[in-house]
Chain A
Amino acid sequence: MLDIRPILSTLHRHKVTAVLLVLEIALTCAIVCNAVFLVRQRLDWMNISSGVDEANVVDVRPVNIGETPDMHGRVKETLAALRTIPGVDHVTLSNQIPLGMESWNSGIKLDPNVASPAMHVTNYYGEDLLKTLGSGLVAGRDFRADEYAWLDDVTLGRKDAVIPHVAIVTEFVADRLFQGDALGKTLYYDDIPLRIIGVARNVVRPSVFDRSTTYGSIILPVRMTEGLGATYIFHTRPGQSDSVIKAAVTKLRELDPNRVILSKRHFSEVRDAFFASDRAMTHLLVGVCIALLIVTALGIVGLASFWVSQRRRQIGVRRALGATRGDVLRYFQTENFLLATMGIALGMVLAYGINIVLMVRYELPRLPVTYLPLGAVVLWLLGQAAVYAPAHRASRVPPVEATRGN
């Protein structure tokens, strides 16, 4: 560390190149810190729990061609047939699947006389939906068979038809709207009063418009009809998902050859599709970070080599005056350390600047302080690794260089 003074005076004579290198390190540090932070955010988001027993849930979505009379009978018959498939625990026809990206949403109210809804939620339909998803209740009870209404009865306002009068909400909704004490309370859906009889473990919405209500889901005792994006969801016994999908497709076609199978998916595929663009963005960010570090390292190698070749004579003089190879090596390493430190200091200021812009434009949280020492360590190591070869070459300069003209 005794070398600092002569290093500073040398750097002073190479101001411009030194400043360029410091700037490059600073920008790299700032961009890498923010990019890594963005990656972290995406990874956290991609790892959220869906509330679904993902390994054992599959869905098959048919579409009907032509008239389908007696929809109720058709759905009952289909469900009964699908239930007989070996490996199927539960099966339901639902209007949507968590993370499926097509969603049914509505505003629910706590007071029917208030104009704007208390919360925008997604509404899941389907008999035994919670069991099929592998979710469960944390309080209260599930729907009774006599509480279910048919969707078309409700929307058509058919006389004498059962309409829903109870609902199940997720823990998230219970906490948000009822401070955790939701059982027995009433919410208004489409001005229909619904008594809350159960609180379910959090089930994620099919499409998340606002991440503050990711688990804003309610489950209604509604039997879905085919069409309108409805999909048959299965809970399978472990390891049987492949065979269940195959059997279900065959069975559905057998029951009605006019059915077109729109999609058949393992839940993992649903999840993958949902997070596909986040995953792509993560790869891109990581790629850019690596490229940035490589470019910066190459820049350090280039400039350090230049300095070494420029100072061959001085190095020779120092060696002739008794400096060891180690001294010369350490000289260049210390020089690089100083430059990196300056770059890192400036880079942290820049990192916060970029973070503030991101916070304003992309609603990102503040960059945690822990990212800064991490960025510093990475750049210090990078600098030392990059400078080693030129510094090593410098240490090989023989003392006799002192006597050469150049």
Chain B
Amino acid sequence: MGTEFGYYLEMAVRSLRRNPVLTALMILAVALGIGACMTTLTALHVLTGDPLPGRSGSIYMPRLDPRAADTGEETTPPVQVTWTDGMALLHARRATHQALMVGGSATIRPDDPGMEAFITSGRFTTADFFPMFGTPFAFGQGWSDAEDEGRARVAVISDALNARLFDGANSVGRVLHVNDASFRIIGVLKPWRPVPHFYDIYSGEYAKAEDIYVPLTASRDTELPRTGGVECWGAGSTEESDMERSTCTWLQFWVQLDNAQAKQAYATFLEGYAREQHAAGRFERNLPTALTGVQAFLDERHVVPSDVRLQFWLASGFFFVCLLNTVGLMLAKFLRRAGELGVRRALGASRRAIFAQLLFEAGIIGFAGGVIGLGFAVVGLALVRINPDRSAQLAHLDLPMLGITFVLSVVAAMLAGLFPAWRACQVPPGLHLKSQ
């Protein structure tokens, strides 16, 4: 096998070098196709990724419809909850973990007089946010339920903010001045970025994870400005001091349910809660509740930009044209060598041996196309990242995609070579010997 491999390789290289122009054309066609395909496939792969690998299967968003009877025909329950319902569900503690949250902005006022104040993104949430989403900690830890209840002025900060403020040193115990309040840092996260930003798509579907996390209760006490989507009905107004009582949905609520049983139990509980609220006159519409999983939620909201899919199909079409091109060129190349192949056949080479040799040649073209195509993809992705869309910034080639590039390239080139190789093997040896 080893010697055969070496022999085929030598033959292939020799044959490819005999028609350098044709060879170059084939490699270029494969490379262009692969480059375009991998660029768009990578973009698609990044954007359709699992935001919480290994976890997202057990994370759900409980959904209620507390809206007024005259809401219209909209029957899909809102994706956010009111303060009243959020707090009720949070305190019911029916799930393994549950967290209520809202996005916000925080003006950080560094102690260092040389640094200007700056605004960054914040998340005001409850204790389970960290264990539920599995946020990795570099230093310290999250807070507990007691600190939520005690409205403690504590904060967890991101790796990026820690680097900016404290040069990446362990800042646990330091005090951070945010707006008009002070928070004690109790945890520093490692770099963490769920893609998409599933837990609050109103903050941007592909937003970065926040820089500072503080207890929801404390954020209300200190009047940190809230951001994100709000839907109101009836007398609901978005006046900040009224948000806890208003008939508006403005908080996100997520729970962790570890198995089908737990999910079933929670669904029953949620249904019961909605019925109670309807009986009490709070929920006017009496619509069914829902437990939506992470992936189902992203699908429902069409989070992946449709342009990205369109680009992928376009690139696939392009790749297909490139392959058609390669099939034609290989056919030309292999048939041109009918004479040489005839000699080999006459000298006793089997059809299979010749077929294998031609396919080997195709594989080499594929491999070379893959190498150059990879270069095209790297350039392509750099061009994609010029796009100021936040989602585009994420497009980077990772190791699995690198592997796929080569496999796809070699397999595609060999598939393209199948038919030309078969045709070349059909040539009866005698015919070409004669015409020589």
Contacts and interface: CB of A to CB of B under 8 A. Distances in A.
A23 interface: yes
Contacts of B321: 24, 27-28, 31, 292, 295-296
Interface in B309-323: 310-311, 314-315, 317-318, 320-322
A344 B325 CA distance: 16
B194 interface: no
Given A298-B29, A306-B332, A291 B318 contact: yes
B332 A303 contact: yes
A302 B109 contact: no
Contacts of A405: 435-436
Contacts of B109: 65
Contacts, number: 138
B117 A65 contact: yes
B436 A31 contact: no
B328 interface: yes
By secondary structure, the B interface counts as helix
Q: Which of A21, A24, A260, A284 has the most CB of B within 10 A?
A: A284
A66 B328 contact: no
A155 B235 CA distance: 11
Contacts of B306: 361-362
A273 interface: yes
A378 B333 CA distance: 28
Given A66-B179, A288-B318, A295-B321, A302 B72 contact: no
Interface stretch (A130-138, A275-283, A316-324): A275-283
Interface string A279-320: 011011100100110111011011101100110000000000
Interface string B333-374: 101100000000000000000000000000000000000000
B204 to A, nearest CB: 11
Nearest to A262: B119
B265 interface: no
Contact of B225 (A21, A155, A227, A358): A227
A65 to B, nearest CB: 5
Nearest to B69: A115
Contacts of A302: 22, 25, 325, 328-329, 332
Interface string A43-87: 000000000000000000001011100000000000000000000
A31 B392 contact: no
A406 interface: yes
B343 to A, nearest CB: 15
B32 A291 contact: yes
A295 B72 contact: no
B435 A276 contact: no
Interface stretch (B146-154, B211-219, B381-389): B381-389
A298 B331 contact: no
Contact of B119 (A63, A67, A406): A63
A369 interface: no
A31 B70 contact: no
Contacts of B414: none
Given A65-B109, A281-B307, A31 B314 contact: yes
Contacts of A67: 180
B36 A288 contact: yes
Nearest to B321: A27
B71 A20 contact: no
B58 interface: no
A342 to B, nearest CB: 14
Contacts of B435: 405-406
A284 B249 CA distance: 40
A22 B35 CA distance: 24
Contact of A306 (B28, B33, B238, B336): B336
A5 B315 CA distance: 38
B4 interface: no
B112 interface: no
Contacts of B180: 65-67
Contacts of A2: none
B315 A303 contact: no
B272 to A, nearest CB: 28
Interface string B40-52: 0000000000000
Given A63-B119, A298-B25, A303 B72 contact: no
Contacts of A280: 384, 386-387, 389, 392
B107 interface: yes
B431 interface: no
A17 B28 CA distance: 19
A406 B339 CA distance: 11
A145 interface: no
B117 A260 contact: yes
A104 to B, nearest CB: 10
Interface in A205-253: 227
Nearest to A285: B314
A284 to B, nearest CB: 6
A116 interface: yes
B28 to A, nearest CB: 7
A22 to B, nearest CB: 10
A295 B314 contact: no
A73 to B, nearest CB: 20
Contacts of B436: 405-406
A328 B405 CA distance: 43
A35 interface: yes
Contact of A273 (B311, B336, B386, B388): B388
A156 interface: yes
A23 B324 contact: yes
Contacts of A65: 107, 109, 117, 179-180
Interface string B96-125: 000000000101010000001111000000
Nearest to A310: B336
Contacts of B107: 63, 65, 260
Q: Which of B22, B225, B329 has the most CB of A within 10 A?
A: B329
B14 interface: no
B398 interface: no
B237 interface: yes
B255 interface: no
Given A155-B238, A303-B329, A310-B335, 6 more contacts: A116-B73, A277-B392, A280-B389, A302-B25, A302-B332, A309-B336
Closest 3 CB pairs of A and B: A306-B332, A116-B72, A280-B387
Interface of B: 22, 25, 28-29, 32-33, 36, 70-73, 105, 107, 109, 116-119, 179-180, 225, 237-239, 305-307, 310-311, 314-315, 317-318, 320-322, 324-325, 327-329, 331-333, 335-336, 383-384, 386-389, 392, 419, 423, 435-436
18 contacts: A23-B324, A38-B310, A66-B180, A115-B71, A258-B117, A260-B118, A260-B119, A276-B387, A276-B389, A281-B307, A295-B33, A298-B28, A299-B324, A303-B332, A305-B22, A358-B310, A361-B306, A406-B436
